[in-house]
Amino acid sequence: MEEVDGSIIPVDSILPPELFLVPIKTRPVFPGIITPLIVPGGKFAKAVDEALKGNSFIGLVLLRDEENEKKTEENIYDYGVVAKILKKVNLPDGAVNILINTVRRFKVESFSSVEPLLIAKVNYPEEEPGASKNTIKAMMRTLLIMTRELAQNNPLFTEEMKLTMLNVNEPGKMADFVCSILNIEKEDYQSVIESVNLKDRIEKVLLYLKKEIDLVSLQREIQENIQDKIDKQQRQFFLREQLKAIQAELGQKEGKYEKKYEKFLERLKAIPADPEVIEEVEREMDKFFYTDQNTADYNVIRNYLDIMESLPWEAAPSREIDLEKARKTLDRDHYKLDDVKERILEFLAVKKLKPTEKGSILLLVGPPGVGKTSIAKSIAEAMGRKFFRFSVGGMRDEAEIKGHRRTYIGAMPGKIITALRITKEKDSVILLDEIDKLGLGMQGDPAAALLEVLDPEQNKTFRDHYLDLPFDLSSVFFIATANTLDSISRILLDRMEVINLSGYITDEKVQIFNKHLWKKVLEKNGIEPYGIQIDKKAVVSLIDHYSRESGVRGLEKQSDKLARKLALQIVKGESYPKHIEPSDVEKLLGVPKYTDDRMTKPTVPGTALGLAWTSVGGATLLIEAVFVKGKGGILLTGMIGKSMEESSSIALSYIKNLLGSEELFTEKTIHLHVPDGATPKDGPSAGITMATTILSLVLNKRIRLGFGMTGELTLTGEVLAIGGLREKIVAAKRVGVHKIIFPSDNRPQLDEIPDYVKKGMEFFPVSRFEEVAKILFEPKTIDGILKPKTEHNAATKKTKPSPKKKSVTRKKK
């Protein structure tokens, strides 16, 4: 009822000719019911707001297909139910919760508006008896009798439902109420909504009611039949048999999970898998079959069995290895890197001779942008295996590697098992990216969790916490990448074979640019069709003046910037260079980032050029020293670490002892500085550079130009071996330094460096600092200072790779 001008009139007499339509899913709401309804945010929530501004009526219509992406007006039924909005509550996600009173049926005649709101012109069909009063009365009594029978035998009927059933007197409302409490298909519900004819409506409801009663009766019969068969040990079997019988009677697909897991068990027995695995799967299947679907354990067990079923328990398939194809794949994707390619080909050769050889663990170490990740992809392609990559950088939880135990909510297996679930092959190539950036958190040490994964002797029976069963990882080819070895656990490092990828020299970068990079950049920026070429000198200018890093990532960024500038000129219709010269590079990219080479030339006394290794490749360090007023000792600046502090003290003590004159240092302090003070620097290899700087300062003589040096110095003047020789040579060559002083103990490492890297360079191996001084200072300056040492007086000779070594290198290539 509704109050209008002080009078009470029936609601259905003031129903509007137009309604805001709100589609609903699953099942319609029948007339004569007060119920809450949640309307999702968006235009239908706005329709509710608009309806409340007017007469508060909305039209509820059922969607034909919930999954269909058709327009709403094309995906709804013509008949619906008009409802009065009694109350509205806004929800946090933009949806609204409304309390509605459904009034009567309506039929959509046409649409007044589709956007932004769905508004339809409707009519309200009058209910037709379709039969005599006595017939309707008889059908009504039958409906009540059958409904009471269902209520007595169905525990889902509440007392409130039974009370409502007794209080409804109108046949049409009674039919609607009974239909609303039945469990039928949504199309059947809608057919009742569309039944304006009362006789037809009651007949349909009686039919659906009879099916429901028969189903309940069948359920009771099943219970009685099974009760006779079971004993005390079989009581848990009851619910499963009951469910199977009901599903079979309804014609539904039954036991899809049971069949799936039974096939999985047969598959494990055929392999055959580890007996422990088979036993655990059988145990979990028994639990699954006996567990109620409505319990939390049911989904836990099902997820566990699904994950187990999706893993590749079978042995890896045999693959025909074509070494020539593998070599072509590696050569196609990567320029040079001969030692890396050689190692991969060695692995493939062993695999070809002995297919049962288990997986290896490689660690690719090098500065950013040298192609570590892309090499791993090429390895997988060359081997014909599936590839999976995940980054362990910043990982702080060991469960990321070994999974969570199933006792936790939301437990899942670790990354390794997840990778094999995705690739579905036991001999996949798995890349552990950025392994040097593993963290240590409150949830354990992921680096320690990797020990079992990366140990060939242990990973044959790897146990993920979630599976808690042995799984063979020995066929997996693990590849790890890192920028530096310093932060990797020594125990973890012991399980991997290290392959160093040094930075690229300018010639290599030019080749990479011409063969791979420029084409990629043109395609990426959409200017490939314009046939833009770039001169080799322009490429060299791009490398030397805009991207001097060890890798080629910075070169790619600058090339992208160059291409974007060209794209802008093309779009604007301006003239653009079709053949890029060095002058065009500067016009497009602006002022060069690297133009000043003063900090690589020790042009005054008290300066010397050292070579350093960093996590992003080799670098040059111009070390400076001056005398300042003080009481002796040494003052250090330039973000120098502990090892370099000790090296400076050793260098000062050695030079004092070498010169044999303490008076030179008593009234003055040496201020030693390493430029680029914002960057932390550490390591012992700057020892001979610091000693040379101090000696040059004390003698007030500059050293010979064009030399770079590296080597650790002892208090007795011995020059000890250092690491990262190739990176340091590349760094020196990059800045135009072609004479390298290095420890003679590093000769083997020098011989392993390819000839094209050493081309144009001169190398001076030394074992004592006196040899360094003789190379860098004029004889008349230094001869009177150096003390004669018979065992170290052999003349220092410039060494270059011997012809024999060269020929061996060519043979290897």
Please count the CA atoms within 13 angstroms of the CA of 316 that sit on its side-chain side.
26
Please choose, from the candidates 135, 138, 129, 38, the residue with its C-alpha nearest in 3D space to the C-alpha of residue 90: 38
| Cα–Cα distance, 88 to 37 (Å, whole number) | 10
Whether cis (ω within 30° of 0) applies to the bond prior to 116 is: yes
E strands, 434-510, in order: 462-463, 470-471, 477-482, 497-500
3-class secondary-structure state, position 333: helix
Range list of H helices, 460-535: 490-493, 506-512, 518-524
For the annotated catalytic residues, the residue numbers are: 685, 728
Helices (H) and strands (E) in the chain, counts: 31, 26
Give Cβ neighbours of residue 211 (< 8 Å, ≥ 6 apart).
184
Q: Is 368 annotated as a binding residue?
A: yes
DSSP 3-state of 396: coil
- Residue 372 annotated as binding? yes
Report the relative pairing of strands 533-534 and 579-580 from DSSP bridges: parallel
Residue pointed to by tokens 């079992």: 452
Under DSSP, the state recorded for 148 is: H
Please tell me whether 723 is known to bind a ligand: no
Q: How far is CA 401 from CA 253, 310, 450, 593, in A?
A: 38, 18, 7, 42
> CA-to-CA distance for 575 and 436, rounded, in angstroms?
48
Show the DSSP H helices in 293-414 as ranges: 296-310, 323-333, 338-353, 372-383, 399-402
CB 502 within 8 Å of CB 549: no
- CB of 30 within 8 A of CB of 177? yes
Edge-first strand order for the sheet with 497-500 is: 387-391, 429-433, 477-482, 361-365, 497-500
Of 367, 355, 365, the closest CA to residue 479 belongs to: 365
**Is 371 marked as binding a ligand?**
yes
251: tokens are 């014609």
Task: Quickly list DSSP for 221-243.
Answer: HHHHHHHHH--GGGGGGHHHHHH
Phi, psi of 280 (to 5 degrees): -65, -40
Burial class of residue 211 in the structure, from the number of CB atoms within 10 Å of its CB (0-12 exposed, 13-18 middle, 19+ buried): middle
Please list the residues that pair with 122 across neighbouring strands. 108
β-strands 607-614, 579-580 pairing: unpaired
Q: Where are the alpha helices (DSSP H) in 552-668?
A: 553-572, 582-589, 642-659, 663-666
* Separation CA 680–CA 10 (nearest Å): 85
* Nearest C-alpha neighbor of 276 from the set 91, 480, 449, 461: 461
Which of these, 41, 43, 52, 39, lies nearest to 116 by C-alpha position? Answer: 43
Q: Could you give the 3-state DSSP secondary structure of residue 106?
A: strand
User: Which among 740, 796, 749 is positioned nearest to 768, based on CA atoms?
Assistant: 796
d(CA 5, CA 560): 75
606 is in an annotated binding site: no
744 is written with which tokens? 């003679």
Whether the CB-CB separation of 195 and 204 falls below 8 Å is answered with yes
The reply, when asked if residue 710 is annotated as ligand binding, is no
Is 370 annotated to bind a ligand? Reply is yes
- Tokens, residue 345: 């080909």
Hey, what are 444's tokens?
């354990």
Ligand-binding annotation for 429, yes or no, is no
Residues in the chain: 813
Residue type, 686: A
Specify the DSSP class assigned to residue 397: -
Residues forming the annotated binding site for ATP? 366-373
